[in-house]
Each structure stands twice: as C-alpha cells, then as structure tokens.
Amino acid sequence: MTDQSADNKIIEASDETDLPDIGRYRTLSSRWRTAMAALTGAATLLAVNQIFALGFLVDSIMLDSRYLYLVTGIMLAMVFITFPSAKSNLHHVPWYDVVIIAIIAVVFGYFAWNAERIVLEAWEYVSPPIGVALALITWAIVLEAGRRAGGWPIFVIVTVISLYPMYSHLLPDIVAGIGLPITDVAIFHILGEESLFGLPMQAFAMLVFGFLLFGVSLQYTGGGPFFINFAFALLGHMRGGPAKVAIFSSGLLGSMSGGPVTNVLTTGPMTIPAMRRTGFSRHYAAGVEACASTGGVMMPPIMGATAFVMASFLGVSYVTVAVAAIVPSLLYFYGLFVQIDAYAAKRNLKGLPREELPKAGKVFKDGWYFLAVFFLLLWMLVYMQQEATAPFYATALLLIINQFTSHRLSVDKLLLLIASAGKLMAELAGILAAIGLIVGALAVTGMAGTFANDLVFIAGDNAVVLLIMGAVTSFVLGIGMTVTAAYIFLAIILAPALINAGLDPLASHMFIMYWGMLSFITPPVALSAFAAASVAQCSAMKVGVESMRLGTIIYFIPFFFVFNPAMLLQGSLTDILPVVITAIIGVTLVSGALQGYLIGFGMLGVGPTGMIARIIIGIAGLVFAVPGGGMLGLSTLWLAVAACILAGIGMAVAWPQREPKPVQV
C-alpha cells in the first residue's frame, strides 16, 4: 500500500474498533467470547452494586471481602480464557484451562460463602486445614495468572519474593527476617487484607474498574477515530502536522488505556504513515509515536490505572495526584511538540493539504458527544469528587447517546465491547493480583521499612545521591513490567526511603512512577519504541535511540519536581508561577539544542561549531528549567540570569549559521 492510500485510510478513520492483538491474546470461538462477555457483565454488576451501595444482591451492603473474592475469582477465570499457556493453544482453550477455571470457581466461591467467618475467626493467622489447602492452591493459580498476563519477568519476581518469608531467616542480617512455614505464608497471602487483597486489588476493584470500562466504550463507539480526526482537522495542515497529531491523539488515548505498547499499536498504524508522507523518516516517525504513547500514562485526567493506585498508597484523593501531574506532563508533551516543530522547520517539511483533511466543524458535529462525556467525567472527578462512580455515569451517558448516532452498537458489537473490556480487565487484574503477593511478603517480614532505612544509610543522608540510586533502581525494575506493576513494586521498597530522607511524599511517588516507565523508550529494552518500529518497518534500535532523544526532558523532570514540589502545583501562586515559566523557557532551549534548530532563532550551526553551540544552549536550558528555591536553595532569579548568559553565548557561537537550511530526509 502506498503512503497516499495509507494516509487516506487514516483521515477517513474507519469504524474498525477492535483492540490490537499483539500475539498474546487467544483467538476465541463465539462460545468463549460469549463466556467472556457474561463474566465481564457479572463483574460489572458486582462492581456497580458495591460501588453505588445498591444492595441488590443481599439485604444489606455486601462485605468488601466477599466482593473482592467474587470479583477476583471472575477476573482470574478470564485470565485463563484470554491468555494461552503456550503458543500451541493460542487458538483454543485446552482442557486443563477449563479445569483451572472450575477450580477457581469452587475455591473463590467457598471463600465468598465463608467471607464473614474468615474475617471473624482471623483465618489469615490461624486457619482450618481446608483454608490452608485452598490458600496453597490459590497461591499457585495467582502465580500462573501473573505469568500469563504479565510475562515471565512478573512470574519470576513475584515467585521469589512471595516465597521470601519462608527463607528470610537464612539470609544475611541486612535482608533477614523471621522465617515462617509455608502454610502460614499461604494463609497470610490469600486470606489476609495486605497481600492478594491488598491495595493493588482494592484499587482495581473500587476505582480502576470503571475507567477501564469507559476507555473501551470510547474505543467501540468511535471515540478513537473522532479524536484522531479532530487532531488532524486542527493540526494536520501545520508544519510537521501529522507528528503533532500523534502527540495529541496518542497522548490522550494513552491516558485512557494506560498501556504504552497497546497505544502504539492502536494509533501508530494511523499516525506513522501520515508522518512518512509529509517527509519524516521512518525511525523519527516511530520515535514520535513511541514517546507520545508512553507519555499518555502520565497525562491527566485518567493516567491509566497508576494514578488510582498511587492515590491509595498516599491516602489522598485521585484528583490530588492528577493535578500534581499536570505541569510535568505538559512540559513533556511541550518538549515533544517543540522538537517536532524544530525538526520540520529545519527540513522544510509541510503539513498535509487542507483539502485532504477532515473539516473541524463536521468532525465536531459528528462526535461532539465524546467531548461532552469527557467533560462530564472531569466535572464529576474534580468538582463533585466522585472518583469511583464518575466513569460509570460517563459510560452510561456515552452508550445512551451513541445509540442515536451512526456509530450505534448492534447486539453483536455490544457483546464484543463487553468481551474486550473483560480482556483488558483480566490482564490488569492478573498482574495486580500477582504483585499483591509482593506487598504481602514485604509486609509480613517488615522488609519494606528495613530496605528503605538501608538505602538512606548507604546514601549517607545525601538526597541527590539517593535520588540517583532511586532512578537507577526504578529503571532496572521497570524493565519488562507494566507501568502499574513497576510502580507498585517501587512504591513498597523505594518510596519509603525517599520519604524518610525528607522528600515530599507525593513528589517521591511521582518520581518512581516516571523513572519506572522510562524503560519503554530507553534502549536496550524500549518496548514502546520496538513496537513502533514494527509498525514503521525500520530498525528497532534506531527508533529506540530516537525516542530516547525525543523524550530527553522526561529524564530530568522527575528530579526537578522533587527539588521543588511547586512544579507539582504545591504551594502559593508566587511559588508556582516562576518555576513553571522558567521551566517552559528551559524546555524550549533544550528541545532546540537536541534538534539543532531553535524556534525564533534558526539553525544552531553545523560541524564542531554547531555542536558547541548546541551543548551550551542545552546546558542553558537545563539551568533555566531547574526550579529555584526548594531543596537546591538557589534562587530562581540567579538561575535565570546564569541561564541567560549561557544562552547568549551559545547563540553568539551559532549566529553566523543561524539561517534555516532545508535538509534532504
């Protein structure tokens, strides 16, 4: 297919709404798709009943533990329907998975039936033999569910750490704990409130559930094509327009999906060919898509599932976390936007012809209700602070309005929507259930606090050294794990160390979330970049290097807001404004230095002279962006004066070659 024909397909935005299959999900028969839809419907009914306190299923509100047993059992059953144990059963559900599903039904049905007895008799400490046996079976099932949903890294890490209480007494004193028999460990993991059913699963069952349903409903009612077409209508004609469209659409949709790789494979086939057509190289186009899709995870208002888990850990409202993420996320996307504009200006790349672009008025007329529903969601989250119920209201309104449009759902498509929502829920729940075992293992041994104190001791009370250690630890542990899973793990073992060192709690948790997701755009792993490379059909490592350069600012932003939480909109207006303004100027300079073209100035030179100018201007940008006050103790004015002097020197060096010169791509 030529770039021309591919682009036309993009602008037309077909009604294809199925989520991308990246070779991990089973191809299900109609019978199993119906089963998935039925299980998802049952889980949704349970969630609505519990979150809205309707009391439909019992005379009074259901015990939280009973609700968690039922929802977790349904989700684990869906994991074994959705994810194959090996490639040999990618297209069918084998008999042993059916047996496992039956066991899950029996075990979790028993737990739900005896929920009150489990709580009153404290089975997490002393359990009858049947409780111990069922806990051991459940433990094994959760580990396998984690492997299927999250891959081998999740399985290995969770297995080793969940068994830790059994061998902790044999380890050196620095990581030693009180040894426990396997039976005690099993009942604590499965029948207590701090492991399998700890914060991760509680956040999923009470908060994340509704947002996953909302995101999938947007996709199946045409929300994805609407936002992409709207972005093309507004930005497609601009210099480097298709790349700017990728930032807007991938960032927004990535906020809803919470999965960088999934987002790349959803929007990439539409944005990358359009970028190619207007002159972007394959690896640059793929790098833009990878960075935009990864950045969506930190983009309010939804931020995937991670923000809800973070709010649970911190004991604050979700809105507090979302507001704190506004400035860092906007700085990141602004840096991408400026780099793309500089790249296009340097190479004289035009946008798409207006006559080939959708008309903004027509796009808005056809899909106004998507924006209306989105604003309803924001209003309920921010003004009414109904975090748990807001996505259900938004989803209900969306589905009702949608039935009076050309995108109305047939019965078959509605079943497909429900089954696909179940697929995403099962994937996240399988991972969170497994990660919960890590929480439990570190809680029962007290190791989380010990590890935090050891890190502070090693750093010698030097906060900067501790942050660097934390960044490296976060990056390594984030390799091969989902953003949410990596964050939970780091929130247990690393965040307490940063907080014990005197750093702001919210800034500390945001720091580890940012650094935990950087492996998605950083070689040699760079999962988002490699996925984008497969779409663009080019070198994966080239895309990884390009995505790392495009996303450079994200490596510094976490340090900035830890140095001064004013960047997280904490403090007075007089504290916040100078920090934000200087950060914007700094990001502009850094972006220009990275691309060799400064907007409003021109080329920054070529050869050794140009490299010197770019280095000086890049350093000036970082000095500008570093927030004054706070932990560094340097005034904003002093930093701004130093940055202006450096920027002036850099521009003076580049002055003879400042005129933009088109370069062949």
User: What confidence tens digit (pLDDT) does each residue in 141-153 have?
Assistant: 999 999 998 888 8
Q: What is the distance between the alpha carbons of residues 103 and 291, in angstroms, rounded to a whole number?
A: 42
Q: pLDDT confidence of 64, banded at 50, 70, 90?
A: confident
Supply the pLDDT for residue 257: 60
How far the first Cα of the chain sits from its last, in Å, is 21
Higher pLDDT pick, 387 / 615:
615
Instruction: Establish if 150 belongs to a structural domain.
Output: no
Q: pLDDT confidence of 560, banded at 50, 70, 90?
A: very high
Residue 598 pairs in a beta bridge with 602
Which of 352, 385, 406 finishes a domain? 406
Higher pLDDT pick, 106 / 525:
106
Tokens of 246: 């990728």
Please say whether the beta carbons of 628 and 567 come within 8 A. no
Higher pLDDT pick, 248 / 580:
580
16 pLDDT above the threshold of 60: no
135 pLDDT above the threshold of 50: yes
Q: Tell me the mean pLDDT in the region 189-200.
A: 91
Question: Closest Cα partner for 431 from 439, 441, 420, 419?
Answer: 439
Query: 524 preceded by cis ω (within 30°)?
Result: yes
Burial string for 519-528 (b: 16+ CB within 10 Å, else e) reads bbbbbebbbb
Supply the pLDDT for residue 58: 57
pLDDT digits (tens, 9 = 90+) for 370-425: 989 988 988 988 788 788 898 899 999 999 999 988 888 888 888 888 888 898 89
- The C-alpha angle 83, 89, 92, rounded to 5 degrees, equals 85
Residue 603 pairs in a beta bridge with 597
Instruction: Establish if 281 belongs to a structural domain.
Output: yes
Supply the pLDDT for residue 497: 85
Supply the pLDDT for residue 463: 80
Q: pLDDT confidence of 112, banded at 50, 70, 90?
A: very high
Domain that holds residue 247: 3-14+222-406
Supply the pLDDT for residue 659: 65
Tokens of 658: 């400042």
Number of compact structural domains in the chain: 2
Instruction: Establish if 139 belongs to a structural domain.
Output: no
Alpha-carbon distances of 105 from 99, 109, 111, 307, 460, rounded to whole Å? 10, 6, 10, 31, 51
Mean per-residue pLDDT of the chain: 85
Q: Tell me the mean pLDDT in the region 261-284.
A: 84
Which amino acid, 499? Answer: I
Residue 602 pairs in a beta bridge with 598
302 pLDDT above the threshold of 90: no
Q: Which range is least confidently modeled, 261-275, 411-425, 593-607?
A: 261-275
Question: Closest Cα partner for 422 from 19, 62, 96, 147?
Answer: 19
Q: pLDDT confidence of 15, banded at 50, 70, 90?
A: very low
Instruction: Establish if 182 belongs to a structural domain.
Output: no
Question: Closest Cα partner for 474 from 460, 463, 485?
Answer: 485
Q: Which range is least confidently modeled, 446-450, 573-577, 609-613?
A: 446-450
Q: pLDDT confidence of 57, banded at 50, 70, 90?
A: low
Q: What is the distance between the alpha carbons of residues 21 and 567, in angstroms, rounded to a whole number?
A: 38
Which of 376, 391, 406 finishes a domain? 406
Q: What is the distance between the alpha carbons of residues 34 and 619, in angstroms, rounded to a whole number?
A: 58
Supply the pLDDT for residue 256: 65
Q: What is the distance between the alpha carbons of residues 577 and 663, in angstroms, rounded to a whole number?
A: 38
- Counting every residue written for the chain, the total comes to 665
Supply the pLDDT for residue 79: 96
Instruction: Establish if 216 belongs to a structural domain.
Output: no
Residue 597, helix vs strand vs coil: strand
252 pLDDT above the threshold of 50: yes
Which of 406, 438, 458 finishes a domain? 406
Radius of gyration of the chain (CA): 25
In the chain, what are the helix, strand and coil shares in percent, each to the nearest 5? 75, 0, 25
663 pLDDT above the threshold of 60: no
Q: Tell me the mean pLDDT in the region 13-30.
A: 60
Higher pLDDT pick, 4 / 344:
344
Q: Which range is least confidently modeled, 4-13, 231-240, 244-253, 512-521?
A: 4-13
Strands 597-598, 602-603: pairing is antiparallel
Instruction: Establish if 295 belongs to a structural domain.
Output: yes
Q: Tell me the mean pLDDT in the region 311-333.
A: 91
Residue 281, helix vs strand vs coil: coil
pLDDT digits (tens, 9 = 90+) for 631-649: 777 788 899 999 999 999 9
Share of the chain above pLDDT 90, in %: 39
Question: Closest Cα partner for 227 from 241, 245, 240, 242?
Answer: 245
Q: What is the distance between the alpha carbons of residues 102 and 565, in angstroms, rounded to a whole number?
A: 50
Supply the pLDDT for residue 664: 38
Q: What is the distance between the alpha carbons of residues 110 and 108, in angstroms, rounded to a whole number?
A: 5
Question: What secondary structure letter does DSSP report for 54?
Answer: -
Q: What is the distance between the alpha carbons of residues 241 and 237, in angstroms, rounded to a whole number?
A: 6
